[in-house]
């Protein structure tokens, strides 16, 4: 396991953190104190250099403290909350950027299942998952909802590696006992349920205190098509016995998938009703995609308190469609962003923010129609029919994701009392990203916009999870 934070940390410099779905705090010079246990103890904003020592003294600290690590940021750098990736598939990274000639169901058959099958080999899992989690951390993802494969042993490896490398994560062993190659499906509902319970025990045993553990198990029925009724029913019973166990699955991603699902579950009138019928729709359920959800489904999902993972990179790549995220937000649905590798071609949450922006522009273009009341590109009162503002994109990638994971009191923003899951980023020329044109007269708002448009792992300098440095360019 990577070593726990040995020293308290104090960071002085620019800070950006979401305040709400519409607003963010852009602070040019903040002072943030993190305890050795990884908690944000206090934060002071608008701290001029000449006030620094006095303010530290007020909190009983000094830059001379031997036990404290003191980090001073330059203009062009800032700290912000780490990204929360609410949906991705670890065993599909090898396929990133390949297979986009297909739509969902053919893509699963011809591209995805053959790669996932390889994870029957635990040595392959060990080799690949280490690279996968490393990449995700170095891209600034401090919390990740991972799908594994159907394999018990291979998925245990994924949990072990996330635990060792220090990423906060939900890890799921896939349940799938039908509708794929006979060599890549579980033999029965009983086998699938037995392995699921065994997986939960394995992950819970990784930490002395399972409830506060960074790595948690998550129930993962792949999607309704992959699971027989008795499997979904058994999973619903496990969910009932474990109210705190989160659940993740896919919903309403692609038109053919929706039609096929309705054919398999004729007793339910919508896709969302299928999960609800089996007791799988609740506050800690994460539903990926939702591109074609009907209003009644949005209302049902909201009434159950479940969250949506918007996966624009994948939705564009597999030609699934453009989710109407503005409507979800106006409707009060919880919503975060997912990279969804390898439906999406990259594990970068920065790309996910870019494409969430593009998606909202496409949707606004087509939905505003003849509505004369829609004049500008932003509105103070609604999201639907407008493009998503920069603070909203930041919210989706951080605090919105935290809400979807029911971790809103623990992570998602940089506030006293929360755990320090954060990244130090830089848009300075020495990061060698020729796409970012830094100008020292730029405001922090403008730098964040440039970062969202053009940054990559070259701009992610340090990554902390619960105060422990676990990634970024400066880790090496
Ligand atoms: O984007 C997706 N990726 C998958 O692996 C998958 N499985 C079911 N539905 C899916 N959608």
Q: How far is the CA of 108 from the centre of ligand 1 (A)?
A: 7
Residue bearing the CA closest to ligand 1, atom 10: 250
Atom of ligand 1 nearest to the CA of 225: 8
Count, residues in the chain: 476
Q: Whole-model pTM?
A: 0.98
- Which tens digits make up the pLDDT trace of 41-98? 999 999 999 999 999 999 999 988 899 999 999 999 999 999 999 999 999 999 999 9
How far is the CA of 357 from the CAs of 322, 350, 443, 454, in angstroms? 11, 11, 21, 13
Calculate mean pLDDT across residues 34-41. Answer: 96
The per-residue b/e assignment along 408-443, b for 16 or more CB within 10 angstroms, e otherwise, is: bebbbbbeeebbbbbbbbbbbeebebeebebeeebe
CA atoms within 13 A on the CB side of 326: 26
Q: Is the peptide bond before 8 cis (omega within 30 degrees of 0)?
A: no
> What is the chain's Cα-based Rg?
22
pLDDT at 313 over 50: yes
| Index of the ligand 1 atom closest to the CA of residue 116 | 5
With bands split at pLDDT 50, 70 and 90, how would you rate the model's confidence at 3? very low
Output the pLDDT for position 369: 73
Q: Does domain 9-81+414-475 have CATH number 2.30.40.10?
A: yes
User: Which of 103-117, 279-293, 341-355, 376-390 is the least confident region?
Assistant: 376-390
DSSP string, 298-349: HHHHHHHT-EEEE-HHHHHHTT-----HHHHHHHT-EEEE---BTTBS---H
CA of 325 to the centre of ligand 1 (A): 19
Mutate to test the pocket of ligand 1, among 343, 345, 346, 352 (most ligand atoms within 8 A of CB): 343
Cα distance between residue 238 and residue 128, in whole Å: 30
Contacts of 153 (CB under 8 A, 6+ apart): 122, 125
CA dist 128 and 148 (Å) reads: 12
> 182 vs 27, 91, 122, 303, 403, CA distance in Å?
56, 19, 20, 38, 38
What pLDDT, on a 0 to 100 scale, did the predictor assign at position 474? 93
Q: How far apart are CA 193 and CA 251, in angstroms?
A: 21
Query: Domain residue spans in the chain?
Result: 9-81+414-475, 83-404
d(CA 149, CA 280): 20
Report how far residue 139's alpha carbon sits from residue 137's, in angstroms, rounded to the nearest whole number.
5
- Provide the pLDDT confidence category of residue 6 given band limits of 50, 70 and 90: low
Q: In the chain, pLDDT over 70 holds for what percent of residues?
A: 99
Pocket residue to mutate for ligand 1, from 92, 250, 289, most atoms within 8 A of Cβ: 250
Distance (angstroms) between ligand 1 centre and the Cα of 250 equals 7
Q: How far is the CA of 117 from the centre of ligand 1 (A)?
A: 15
Q: Which atom of ligand 1 lies closest to the CA of 89?
A: 5
Q: Give the Å distance between the CA of 335 and the centre of ligand 1.
A: 18
Mind listing the pLDDT tens digit for each residue in 170-224? Answer: 999 999 999 999 999 999 999 999 999 999 999 999 998 877 899 999 999 999 9
Regarding the domain delimited by 83-404, which CATH topology (the fold level of the hierarchy) does it fall under? Answer: TIM Barrel (3.20.20)
Whether the per-residue pLDDT at 370 is higher than 80: the answer is: no
Would you say the C-alpha torsion 331, 337, 341, 342 has a positive or negative sign?
positive
Taking CA atoms only, the protein residue closest to ligand 1 atom 2 is 343
- Which atom of ligand 1 is closest in space to residue 257's alpha carbon? 9
Beta strands of 361-417 (E only): which ranges? none
Predicted pLDDT of residue 141: 98
285-289 and 247-251 strand pairing:
parallel
Q: How confident is the model at residue 380 (pLDDT cuts 50, 70, 90)?
A: confident
pLDDT score recorded for residue 4? 54
pLDDT (tens digit, 9 = 90+) per residue, 334-360?
A: 999 999 999 999 999 999 999 999 999
Per-residue pLDDT, averaged over 370-376, amounts to 78
Ligand 1 probe mutation, 109, 175, 223, 249, most atoms within 8 A of CB: 223
Q: Burial of 266 by CB count in 10 Å (0-12 exposed, 13-18 middle, 19+ buried)?
A: exposed
Other C-beta atoms within 10 Å of 212: how many? Answer: 11
More confident: 443 or 374: 443
Pocket of ligand 1 (CB under 6 A): 89, 104, 108, 112, 222-223, 250, 253, 314, 340, 343
Query: What integer best gives the mean pLDDT of the chain?
Result: 96
Q: Which atom of ligand 1 is nearest to the CA of 226?
A: 8
Nearest to 37 by CA among 79, 11, 9, 63: 9
Q: Is residue 101 exposed (0-12), middle (13-18) or buried (19+ Cβ within 10 Å)?
A: exposed
Reported confidence tier of residue 40, pLDDT bands at 50, 70, 90: very high
Say if residue 248's pLDDT is above 50: yes
Per-residue pLDDT tens digits for 423-440: 999 999 999 999 999 999
Tell me the two tokens of residue 374: 């829609």
Q: Is the pLDDT of residue 394 over 80?
A: yes
């Amino acid at each position: 396991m990577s070593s726990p934070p040995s020293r308290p940390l104090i960071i002085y410099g620019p800070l950006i953190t979401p305040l709400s779905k519409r607003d963010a705090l852009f602070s040019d010079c903040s002072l943030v104190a993190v305890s050795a246990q990884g908690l944000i103890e206090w934060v002071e904003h608008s701290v001029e250099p000449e006030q620094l020592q006095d303010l530290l003294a007020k909190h009983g600290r000094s830059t001379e403290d031997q036990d404290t690590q003191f980090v001073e940021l330059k203009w062009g750098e800032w700290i912000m909350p780490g990204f929360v990736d609410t949906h991705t598939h670890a065993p599909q990274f090898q396929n990133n950027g390949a297979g986009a000639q297909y739509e969902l169901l053919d893509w699963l058959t011809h591209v995805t299942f053959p790669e996932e099958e390889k994870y029957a080999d635990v040595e392959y899992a060990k080799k690949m998952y280490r690279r996968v989690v490393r990449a995700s951390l170095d891209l600034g993802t401090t919390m990740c909802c991972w799908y594994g494969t159907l394999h018990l042993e291979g998925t245990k490896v994924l949990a072990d590696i996330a635990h060792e490398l220090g990423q906060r994560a939900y890890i799921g062993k896939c349940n799938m006992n039908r509708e794929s190659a006979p060599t890549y499906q579980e033999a029965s509902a009983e086998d699938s349920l037995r392995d699921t319970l065994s997986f939960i025990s394995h992950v819970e045993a990784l930490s002395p205190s399972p409830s506060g553990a960074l790595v948690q198990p998550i129930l993962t029925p792949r999607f309704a098509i992959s699971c027989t009724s008795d499997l979904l029913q058994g999973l619903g019973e496990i969910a009932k016995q474990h109210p705190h166990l989160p659940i993740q699955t896919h919903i309403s991603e692609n038109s053919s998938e929706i039609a096929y699902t309705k054919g398999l579950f004729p007793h339910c009138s919508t896709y969302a009703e299928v999960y609800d019928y089996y007791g799988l729709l609740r506050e800690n359920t994460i539903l990926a995609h939702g591109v074609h959800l009907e209003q009644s489904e949005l209302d049902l999902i909201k009434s159950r308190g479940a969250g949506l993972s918007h996966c624009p990179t994948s939705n564009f790549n597999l030609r699934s469609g453009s989710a109407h995220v503005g409507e979800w937000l106006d409707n009060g649905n919880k919503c975060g962003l997912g990279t969804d590798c390898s439906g999406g071609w990259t594990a970068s949450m920065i790309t996910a923010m870019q494409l969430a922006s593009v998606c909202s522009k496409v949707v606004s273009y087509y939905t505003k129609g003849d509505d004369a009341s829609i004049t500008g590109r932003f509105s103070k009162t609604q999201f639907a029919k407008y493009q998503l503002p920069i603070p909203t994109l930041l919210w989706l990638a951080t605090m919105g994701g935290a809400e979807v994971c029911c971790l809103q009191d623990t992570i998602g923003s940089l506030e006293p009392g929360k755990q320090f899951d954060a990244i130090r980023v830089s848009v300075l020329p020495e990061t060698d990203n020729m796409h970012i044109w830094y100008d020292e007269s730029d405001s922090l708002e403008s730098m964040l916009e440039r970062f969202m448009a053009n940054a990559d792992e070259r701009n992610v300098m340090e990554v902390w999870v619960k105060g422990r440095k676990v990634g970024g360019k400066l880790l090496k």
